[in-house]
Amino acid sequence: MPIFIQGGGGGVNLSVVTADVGDALSGKIFVNAEGRPKTGTMANNGTVSTDIITKAQEVTIAQGYHSGDGIIKIASAEQAKIIETNILGNMSILGVLGTAYNWIFATGSLTLDRYYATIPVTNMSAIGMVLMYCASPAGLGVNVQLGIAVPPTTSGILYGNSNSNGAWENTSGVGIGVSVGGDWRFNGTYTYYVLGVA
How does pLDDT run across 80-92, given as a tens digit for each residue? 999 999 998 878 9
Q: Give the predicted TM-score (pTM) of the model.
A: 0.55
Q: Is residue 49 part of a domain?
A: no
Asked if the structure places residue 81 within a domain, the reply is no
Rounded distance between C-alpha atoms, residue 35 and residue 196, angstroms = 80
The reply to whether 31 falls in a domain is: no
Is 169 a domain residue?
yes
Query: Could you give the number of structural domains in the chain?
Result: 1
Q: Tens digit of pLDDT for each residue in 22-80?
A: 999 999 999 998 989 999 999 999 999 999 999 999 999 999 999 999 999 999 999 99
Domain that holds residue 138: 103-197
Q: Pinpoint the alpha helices (H) of the chain.
A: 76-79
Assigned domain for 98 exists:
no
Residue 193 lies in a domain: yes
Task: Report the C-alpha gap between 147 and 124 in whole angstroms.
Answer: 16
